[in-house]
Copies of this chain bind each other. A is one copy, B any other.
């Protein structure tokens, strides 16, 4: 083995520094010095270079990362409340995807988990209006087609009339949709009308529409309605969903899967 304390090449070291800073969002000069076993002067010089390259911004005592942290906000989601259910729902959804299919991925955290599971599949074509889903698949995985449109910051999705231009030109086998709320009376609703517009359009261009919604969304009604129940073919939810509601939905012709 050559694992002895090897001197490290400067570019290599700077790459390490960059990663450490990006990881924690911030890093102290003193900590970097200890980890990399070089003098503070060298660390400072490296940070100076990394700052010129736009990768970090120096602050008194260390440096903060300037690199986009979209991916990490995903990690934040992972620790959120209903994440276990969401992951199970995403796994169930994944099992329904056949080979060489084209699918649509909606915005929302559940579909984001699904997106992450697709990184190994390069037989698929994924259409999405979610910037986060696209980022998950940015490195490798399926063919990715983005809908385009105006960026809605709150959900990190592309919405509005402009999105229809691309959507009108594609058809997908399965559309995996999220929702802010669903109930028997009012159907599916979300907060933003522009977002609803896209969802509604997607439902029209999919052979099969699959709703991914954990039970916390049940009986919730939001502002903009984007779909009636008859447009939905399948609902995947968790066993927190009441039997009454599940039975009613099945009566409407839906397939309901609880996991």
Contacts and interface: CB of A to CB of B under 8 A. Distances in A.
A28 B156 CA distance: 31
Which among A139, A146, A149, A150 has the highest number of chain B CB atoms within 10 Å? A146
Contacts of A145: 148-151, 162
Given A54-B83, A116-B66, A132-B68, A138 B166 contact: no
Q: Main SS of the interface on chain A?
A: mixed
Nearest to A54: B113
A134 interface: yes
Interface string A126-161: 000001101111111001111111110100101000
A136 B69 CA distance: 9
Nearest to A136: B68
A166 B153 contact: no
Which among A15, A138, A169 has the highest number of chain B CB atoms within 10 Å? A138
Contact of A134 (B52, B62, B136, B151): B151
A196 interface: no
Interface of A: 7, 9-12, 15, 25-26, 28, 52-55, 59-62, 64, 66, 68, 70-71, 76, 79-80, 83-84, 87, 113, 116, 131-132, 134-140, 143-151, 153, 156, 158, 162-163, 165-166, 168-170
22 contacts: A9-B28, A11-B26, A11-B59, A53-B83, A54-B79, A54-B87, A54-B113, A54-B116, A55-B79, A66-B116, A131-B138, A135-B135, A137-B151, A138-B151, A138-B153, A139-B153, A144-B151, A145-B150, A145-B151, A146-B149, A148-B158, A148-B163
